Amino acid sequence: PAEVESVLTEMPQFAEVAVIGIPDPAWGEVVCAVGRLKEGQTLTLEQVVAHCTGKLGKYKIPKKLILSEHPLSRNPTGKLLKRLLREKYAAASTQ
């Protein structure tokens, strides 16, 4: 995830971004980018894929993009709480 996050943070649209694995019926689990955009920005999965192509192996390129209007969950030291992100968005991906 760190390599993928590094590539995604190059994108000027993201205020913050995390990469998690979420359940997928066809693949078992897929790479998902969860991010919050800077004010006034828009972003599509197609733009994310285009940005990552050639910089990451095909299997590392996010297959899903989830955009949050709220800051991503962090602990008191500022580290992203990916477990909470996985729990929150894994449930949403199976509905």
Give domain limits for the chain. Answer: 2-93
Query: pLDDT value at position 2?
Result: 93
Segment 64-88 shows an average pLDDT of: 94
Please state which architecture CATH assigns to domain 2-93: 2-Layer Sandwich (3.30)
Confidence of residue 44 (pLDDT cuts 50, 70, 90): very high
Q: Rounded mean pLDDT of 50-66?
A: 97
Residue 90: the pLDDT is: 80
Summarize the confidence of residues 14-18 as an average pLDDT. 97
Unique residue bearing structure tokens 């790479």: 31
Examine the pLDDT at 53 and tell me if it is beyond 90: yes
95 CB burial (10 A radius; 0-12, 13-18, 19+) = exposed
Q: Is the whole model's pTM more than 0.95, yes or no?
A: no
